[in-house]
Amino acid sequence: MNEVLKNMEARHSVRAYTDRQVPAEELDLILRAATCAPNGMHLETWHFTAIQKAAILDELNEAIKGAFAKSNNPLLQERGHSTTYCCYYHAPTLIIVSNEPTQWWAGMDCACALENIFLAARSLGIGSCWINQLGQTCDDPDVRTLLTRLGIPANHKVYGCAALGYEPEGTPLKEKKVKEGTITIVR
Ligand SMILES: Cc1cc2nc3c(=O)[nH]c(=O)nc-3n(C[C@H](O)[C@H](O)[C@H](O)COP(=O)(O)O)c2cc1C
């Protein structure tokens, strides 16, 4: 297996992080990788907002919880009222990936960019996880006020986020198993 394929095998979702921050040069490399992703008609309407300030991440989590608390869904309500719920697992860095919802492929552009982020991070020894909660809540008025303050264009929706940071040492690795029937090859 070559190094690129090994890196793909090694990528996994990390849901616990140490306090160590992602260095600026590595964040730049990861953001550069994000912008190298394929995107429909090469319109590049996407935007990447990287947050490395713990107080802002906490404020964002509280706004998301506030939106969940207004929901009719009992699970979301429970998360909204929880004192311990943290949608980004206390990762030191979060990249918010947003796009104009005018093209039907806007979310696909963002998914391609997010996978580049995850793989670039893995290649640098940095753990990652897709964080979905802003996708559900970005149009809540309180969440939107904060997103606007952070520079996310008003005409953008959030399609996903990447939590980034270092996995605690000794975390056991999950073996990747592919569900039977997932692949068909016609020759
Ligand atoms: C569209 C999408 C949304 C996801 N949302 C979340 C999320 O909000 N929180 C989370 O912990 N993991 C989330 N994940 C990660 C998946 O749960 C994870 O990729 C899957 O369980 C496979 O595990 P692996 O990434 O370790 O291979 C998401 C993944 C995708 C592709």
Length of the chain: 187
DSSP secondary structure code for residue 154 in this structure: T
Q: Is 127 part of a structural domain of the chain?
A: yes
Structure tokens at 125: 């020894």
Nearest CA to ligand 1 atom 5: 132
Is pLDDT above 90 for 74? yes
CATH code of the domain in which 31 resides = 3.40.109.10
Please check whether residue 181 lies inside any domain of the structure.
no
Ligand 1 geometric centre to CA of 60 (Å): 20
Q: Whose CA is nearest to atom 13 of ligand 1?
A: 130
171 assigned to some structural domain:
no
pLDDT over threshold 90, residue 175: no
Residue type, 89: Y
* Domain count for the chain: 1
Query: Does residue 59 fall inside a structural domain?
Result: yes
Reported as a single tens digit per residue, the pLDDT across 4-29 is 999 999 999 999 999 999 999 999 99
pLDDT tens column, 122-133: 999 999 999 999
* Residue 136 included in any domain: yes
User: Which domain covers residue 9, as residue numbers?
Assistant: 3-165
Q: Which residues line ligand 1 (CB under 6 A)?
A: 12-13, 15, 129-133
- Judge whether 182 lies within some domain: no
Q: Is residue 172 part of a domain?
A: no
* Closest CA relative to residue 45, chosen from 9, 98, 7: 98
Query: Burial code of 51-88, b = ≥16 C-beta within 10 A, e = fewer?
Result: beeeeebeebbebbbebbeebeeeebeebbeeeeeebb
Give the model's pLDDT for residue 172: 86
Say whether 52 sits in a helix, a strand or coil.
Answer: coil
